[in-house]
Amino acid sequence: MKLTIPSAQLLKPALRCAIYCATSCAIASLGFTAVAWAQGAQPPPAVPSAAQTLLDQGRAEEARALLDRQIKKHPKDAKTRLLRSDVFFLLGELALGKKDLDRALQLDPTLRQGWLNRAALELADQNYDAAHAALLKAQQLDPAAPDNEVNLGAVLLLKGDLAEAARSFQRYLDLHRDSAESHYLVATNYAMAGYVAPAVDLLRRTIRLDERVRLRARSDPNFVAMANEPSYQQLLAQEPQRPKAGSMVSRYLFARPYDGGRAELLPAVLDTLQAVGLRFDRRVEVNEGWALIWGEIRVELRDSSEGRGLVQFSADDGSMSQTAWKDKTAQLVRQIQARIVTLMAAKRKATAHRRPPGE
What would the pLDDT profile of 115-127 be if each residue is shown by its tens digit?
999 999 999 899 9
Residue 10 has pLDDT above 60, yes or no: no
Residue 12 has pLDDT above 80, yes or no: no
Q: Are 88 and 100 spatial neighbours (Cβ–Cβ below 8 Å)?
A: yes
What would the pLDDT profile of 274-295 be if each residue is shown by its tens digit?
999 999 999 999 999 999 999 9
> What pLDDT does 356 receive?
64
Residue 49 has pLDDT above 90, yes or no: no
pTM over 0.85: no
Residue 26 has pLDDT above 70, yes or no: no
> What pLDDT does 355 receive?
63
Residue 95 has pLDDT above 50, yes or no: yes
Residue 46 has pLDDT above 50, yes or no: yes
Over residues 21-45, mean pLDDT: 31
Split at pLDDT 50, 70, 90, the class of 8 is: very low
Computed over every residue of the chain, the mean pLDDT equals: 85
More confident site: 30 or 196: 196
Split at pLDDT 50, 70, 90, the class of 349 is: confident
Share of the chain above pLDDT 70, in %: 85
Residue 173 has pLDDT above 90, yes or no: yes
What would the DSSP string read from start to end of 185-233? HHHHHHHHTT-HHHHHHHHHHHHHH-TTHHHHHHT-GGGGGGTT-HHHH
Residue 232 has pLDDT above 70, yes or no: yes
- Residue 240: φ, ψ to 5°: -60, 155
Q: Rounded to whole angstroms, what are the CA distances from 152 to 69, 155, 356? A: 37, 5, 68
Radius of gyration of the chain (CA): 26
Q: In order of start, what are the domains of the chain with their CATH numbers? A: 1-166 (1.25.40.10), 176-238 (no CATH), 248-354 (3.30.310.50)
DSSP-H helix ranges across the chain: 46-56, 60-73, 78-90, 94-107, 112-124, 128-141, 148-159, 162-174, 180-192, 196-209, 213-218, 230-237, 265-275, 322-354
200: nearest Cα among 239, 257, 238, 161? 238
C-alpha–C-alpha distance, residues 295 and 282, integer Å:
9
The partner residues of 302 in beta bridges, in order of sequence, read 290, 310
What would the pLDDT profile of 304-333 be if each residue is shown by its tens digit?
999 999 999 999 887 789 999 999 999 999
Of 201-205, 297-301, 354-358, the poorest mean pLDDT is in: 354-358
Helix (H) or strand (E) holding 252: strand 248-254
> What pLDDT does 335 receive?
97
> What pLDDT does 359 receive?
56
What would the pLDDT profile of 96-120 be if each residue is shown by its tens digit?
999 999 999 999 999 999 999 999 9
> What pLDDT does 31 receive?
28
Q: Are 67 and 142 spatial neighbours (Cβ–Cβ below 8 Å)?
A: no
> What pLDDT does 317 receive?
80
Strands 285-286 and 248-254: unpaired
